[in-house]
């Protein structure tokens, strides 16, 4: 297992992503590990699910952060 919790943040461009990363660095805990992974929308859309059953539920929301 690589992680216990995963959080996603949708940003409009790389400049906004760098701003979010700076905020995460500034507010990171003194101990522990925080990792950032930059993924384009196209890469995220091509994600393949290998285990479990596929769900067809869609989240219809205008929120910028969606917790699944």
Neighbours of 18 (CB within 10 A): 12
Return the pLDDT at 16.
94
- Assess contact for 17 and 11: CB atoms under 8 A: yes
Return the pLDDT at 44.
86
Return the pLDDT at 1.
46
The residues, ordered by sequence, that sit 6+ positions from 41 with a Cβ below 8 Å of its Cβ are none
Q: Which residues of 39-59 are buried (b: 16+ CB within 10 A; e: fewer)?
A: eeeeeeeeeeeeeeeeeeeee
| Tens-binned pLDDT, residue by residue, of the chain (68 aa) | 456 788 888 899 999 999 999 999 999 988 988 889 999 888 988 988 787 776 667 667 777 766 66
Return the pLDDT at 59.
67
For the question of whether the overall pTM of this predicted structure is more than 0.85, the answer is: no
Interatomic CA distance for residues 33 and 67, integer angstroms: 21
């Amino acid at each position: 297992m690589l992680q216990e919790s995963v959080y996603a943040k949708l940003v409009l461009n790389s400049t906004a992503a760098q701003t979010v990363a700076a905020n995460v660095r500034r507010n990171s805990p003194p101990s522990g590990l925080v990792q950032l992974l930059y993924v384009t929308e196209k890469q995220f859309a091509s994600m393949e699910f290998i285990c479990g059953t596929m769900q067809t539920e869609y989240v219809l929301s205008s929120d910028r952060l969606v917790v699944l």
